[in-house]
Amino acid sequence: MSLQKSIQDGEGKTIEFKVELPNSNTLAKTIIAFSNTGGGKLIIGVNDQGEIIGLEPDENIFELRDKVASIIYETCYPAVLPDIYTTTIDDHLLLIIEVYRGNLLPYYLKGKGKNEGVYIRVGATNRKASHKNILELERQRMNVSFDQEANREVDLDSLDLSSLEARFAQAGKVLDQPVMKNLKLVIEDNNTIYPSNGLLILLGRFEHVRMKCSRFKGSTMDVFLDRKEYNSDVFAQLENAENFIKNYIKLSSEIKGLQREDQYEIPLEAIRESLVNAVVHRDYSNDGRDIKIGIYDDIINVVSPGGFPSTLTQEDILEGRSEIRNKVIARVFKELNYIEQWGSGIRRIKSSCKDRGLKEPEIVEKGDFVDVSLYRDVATQKEVSEEILISNEYQELILEYLKLHQNKITTKEAQVILDLGERRAREILKAMIDNGILERVGRTTNTHYRMRDIKTK
């Protein structure tokens, strides 16, 4: 991308503007933040609005360059070696300070030390790094991901591996100790085998490894229509989240030849890829946040903690470039065929929606999280919204009936209280099962439904 185009796009993760050379402290923070994140350019002679002002005509460029180099040498540690040069755009002279991501992470202000002087780039701002940010930078320096680290606080024998073993069995594979060692699900240290953070993430053992799903009325978060929280193993979370979404988007049928083909308004491929990407690429070292899925009348929104990996920009992601943040999680997902090819997920999300005639999805880095918006079919938004409201009214009637009738309802009883045909009544009962509200009891003429004892939803 040309420098002029970068300026037109405005400030961001890898570019910052200043009309004139800032004071030593401000300059050093920006240089350190770029060094700790994805590198970047500090452009002197451009204002915050991206207007090219240029340096003062009488500015001594050689003295200015020497001053910048001296400030960086005296204030930044480890040593940062930027490129400092000038360029001319529309007869305006600019000074460019180009910084590359360092390999001696973390970089910090000499005067404040590593605990207080580390800065990172978040969006278009320099942010003081937290202790967890600093630990993550140190892991990056050693080329070790958070999920590869041994967790010495959890006894491996206390873990129930059956859900993960079942996933491997479904893929025709065995999950034994040699396989777990190879995948770094367990780490051997001093003749003791510990679970890795990756294993605990896959099993859903961390408090923040969860998905929160919500259906909102309209296009804002003002009014909830439904919400669920899933915190079992991550594969079950994915299935539950997909079912939650499917319950609130329109399903249509088309006869092709002798077969009926069901089709959701948003391609399931786009939905699944968005959910898988959120699980595989989120920042698990940040234990204060979780994945959030919001369903609105106009979009499905998936938000995952952590921006793009440090060296990647918005343009890199859209071009299909990939960098793996969670090496254990990604490898297991690849092993179980949840991932087809590295870097292909974004392309499939976009192409599947484009083929359906939908507006192109947006995948955007917003500060320190990634926001994915899948656009719904405008023509069906009003119809879908009205159908969902009716569906929620039906669910309320069923729940009220269960409270008054010893937590038991049959399909025929549902038909009566809802005043619906058998097929539609069964659809609503099934949707409530998929969303973890009800469970089915029995499989013959004595079949009935009851509320689940929800402890993990």
Q: What is the CATH number of the domain that holds 432?
A: 1.10.10.10
* Domain boundary residue, one of 376, 406, 422: 376
* Domain boundary residue, one of 376, 396, 426: 376
Q: What is the CATH number of the domain that holds 116?
A: 3.30.950.30
Same domain, 245 and 290: yes
Same domain, 365 and 240: yes
Gyration radius of the chain's alpha carbons? 27
Q: How far apart are CA 229 and CA 422, in angstroms?
A: 30
94 burial type by CB count under 10 A (0-12 exposed, 13-18 middle, 19+ buried) = buried
Answering whether pTM is above 0.85, one says no
Same domain, 101 and 247: no
In order of 80, 345, 352, 371, the CA distances from 303 in angstroms are: 34, 16, 20, 5
In a domain, 396, yes or no: yes
Digit-by-digit pLDDT tens for the chain (457 residues) are: 689 999 999 999 999 999 999 999 999 999 999 999 999 999 999 999 999 999 998 889 999 999 999 999 999 999 999 999 999 999 999 999 999 999 999 999 999 999 999 999 998 999 999 999 999 999 999 999 999 999 999 999 999 999 999 999 999 999 999 999 999 999 999 999 999 999 999 999 999 999 999 999 889 998 888 899 999 999 999 999 999 999 899 887 666 666 667 789 999 999 999 999 999 999 999 888 999 999 999 999 999 999 888 777 777 777 777 789 999 999 999 999 999 877 678 889 999 999 989 999 999 998 889 999 999 986 555 555 555 556 677 888 999 999 999 999 999 999 999 888 888 888 888 888 877 788 999 876 778 999 886 443 3
In a domain, 313, yes or no: yes
Tell me if 325 sits within 8 A of 312, measured CB to CB.
Answer: no
* Domain boundary residue, one of 141, 163, 189: 141
Say which DSSP state 129 is in: P
Domain holding 90, by residue range, is 3-141
Number of domains in the chain: 3
Same domain, 370 and 390: no
In order of 114, 250, 252, 266, 380, the CA distances from 255 in angstroms are: 65, 17, 10, 19, 20
Q: How far apart are CA 411 and CA 403, in angstroms?
A: 16
Q: How far apart are CA 124 and CA 102, in angstroms?
A: 19
